[in-house]
Amino acid sequence: MDAKGIKKEVLQEVEFILYEGGEIPEVRFWNSYFYLTSSPPDGLGLSLTEEDLNSLKKAVIDRYLLIIERDLTSDFIDKPFYRGISRAIVNVKRLNKFLENTGLKERYANIIKRKIKRMFKKFQEELKKQGRDINELASKEELKEFKKTLEEL
């Protein structure tokens, strides 16, 4: 265990979720959960504490924020992995669903909403500096849906 009382095996899974969690990090969360808790030889057979579980869930949240930030980074627009506002909408919705399903919405929604609003503001500022208009990248409907989705957090 580390200083916070979180098992080292859990911390390793947190790293996997954060950096190799794919586009739907809650799938990696469940893979990690079953790996950690299943009896050998299928898993490690650990009993997870609330702290352990919360660190795994927080990793999913952080992974989603990384994905959303990627989609709201102007330097990535011309890159093959760039997905844009429409994909950010999908990911905010997925994150919201994860928060609801895990009972974390009340605890994290306002913090997450502020972070994503800052990302979006920075995105717009970067576009302006590059001489681009957000309306070139997203329709008015998409922008309206993005704002609505964010408010539903």
Query: Residue ranges per domain, the chain?
Result: 8-151
Of 76, 75, 81, residue with least CA distance to 129: 75
Q: Do the Cβ atoms of 26 and 67 come closer than 8 Å?
A: no
The whole-number pLDDT of residue 100 equals: 97
Q: Do the Cβ atoms of 87 and 71 come closer than 8 Å?
A: yes
CA–CA gap between residue 76 and residue 118 (Å, rounded):
17
Angle at CA 148, nearest 5°, toward 142 and 153? 130
The whole-number pLDDT of residue 135 equals: 92
The whole-number pLDDT of residue 9 equals: 96
Residues in the chain where the model's pLDDT stays below 70: 1-4
The whole-number pLDDT of residue 79 equals: 86
The whole-number pLDDT of residue 2 equals: 55
Helix or strand run (H / E) with residue 70: helix 50-71
The whole-number pLDDT of residue 1 equals: 54
Which whole-number Å values give the CA distances from 110 to 49, 60, 72, 142, 153, in the listed order?
Answer: 26, 17, 19, 22, 7
| Global confidence as pTM | 0.92
